[in-house]
Amino acid sequence: MPPRYTPERVRYDRRYRTLDKYRFISWFLLVPLIIYAILVISPFFQAFYYSLTDWSGFSSDFNMVGLDNYSRMLEDDDFWASIRNSLLLLVVAPVITLGLGLFFAFMLQAGGRRKKSDAISGVTGAKFYKVVYFFPQVLSVAIIGVVWGAMFDPITGPINELLRTFGLGSLTQSWLANPDIAMFCVLFVMCWMFVGFYVVLFSAAMGSVPKDIYEAALLDGASRPTTFFRVTLPLIWDTVQTGWIYMGIQALDGFAVVHIMTINAGGPGNSTLVTPVYLYKKAFDVGQAGYATAVGVVLLIITMIFSGIMMLLSRRERIEF
């Protein structure tokens, strides 16, 4: 009597079970994918559709104008000013924020005095410092904008008052009214807002690195800077890459801080105008929702290009530990 299960029959049963498993998983994913497509994907296509119209945003009547909104951007000085400011934040804010986050996280994890039994030791009270660094993340962005706007006030603000107290009255400024430094004030506040998040994120990533690796580096005579650049940074590079993309997207947004802190939401003289604020003004202040939607589409394209470039430039061989 021939055997019941031949090699061909075994392979067939294996393929069938695999197909059945994926079919089972697909049915469970179907509903979430449909919801995601309706609530997340479809608005992107709707935005592109409305960017081809002259919709005012205040009525249901509009006409198709094709690519007129996009050609209008090429001659719009305010739009290009907002793009320049957004790109400035995109380049500078992640460098400063992630650099400070890595520095503080490494100091908290490895800045303490080395004990004989430990290759690496954190500072005393590291958990408390993490809470302090993370505190701005708990606050509302609106509260942060109002508080720092009051801090930079040239008359009643504590920054100028502190400079006068220490005899540095010549350094007092109308911080947010000076077009040469207003953008740097916004940049400072954005970095202050997010640095604590990355301190906690990078501290968690560094804490997952086995101490055996640090012990080997210590036996080789590696100093703290060498340990950071040759050991710690390569091992947490995936986290740094993710943080870079996330911070870049946050920098491209920058709506709430600029809208609340600055003069006329982007002033003085468009020196702090960023693209999301410009979009908001066109949509709600002058009733040009179709043009504002076209600006939003361009901002989406810039964000996707940035994410793709960062993933390509920061790609490296994954290190397992």
CATH value at residue 122: 1.10.3720.10
In a domain, 39, yes or no: no
Other C-beta atoms closer than 10 Å to the C-beta of 196 total: 23
Q: Is residue 21 part of a domain?
A: no
Distance CA 94, CA 100 (A): 10
Is residue 51 a part of any domain in this protein?
no
Of 91, 38, 58, 42, nearest in space to 292 by CA? 58
Asked whether residue 153 is domain-assigned, the answer is yes
35 domain residue, yes or no: no
For 22, 45, 52, 97, 307, the CA distances from 302, given in Å and listed in that order, are 36, 17, 19, 21, 9
Q: Is the peptide bond before 43 cis (omega within 30 degrees of 0)?
A: no
From first to last of the 321 residues of the chain, give the pLDDT tens digit: 445 556 665 565 566 666 666 777 777 888 888 999 999 889 889 999 999 999 988 888 889 999 999 999 999 999 999 999 999 999 999 999 999 999 999 988 876 655 555 556 677 788 888 888 999 988 999 999 999 999 999 888 999 999 999 988 888 999 999 999 999 999 999 999 999 999 999 999 988 888 888 778 877 877 888 888 888 888 898 899 899 989 999 998 889 999 999 988 888 889 999 999 999 999 998 889 999 999 999 999 999 999 888 888 777 666 555
In a domain, 3, yes or no: no
pTM of the complete model: 0.83
Nearest to 73 by CA among 287, 282, 245, 310: 282
* 60, part of any domain: no
How many domains is the chain built from?
Answer: 1
Phi first, then psi: give them for residue 264, nearest 5 degrees. Answer: 55, 30
Tokens of 280: 């908001």
User: 182 with 271: CB under 8 angstroms?
Assistant: yes
**Structural domain includes residue 304:** yes
Q: Look up residue 118 and give its two tokens.
A: 């430990």
3-state SS class at 64: strand
Q: Could you tell me the residue range of the domain that residue 264 belongs to?
A: 68-313
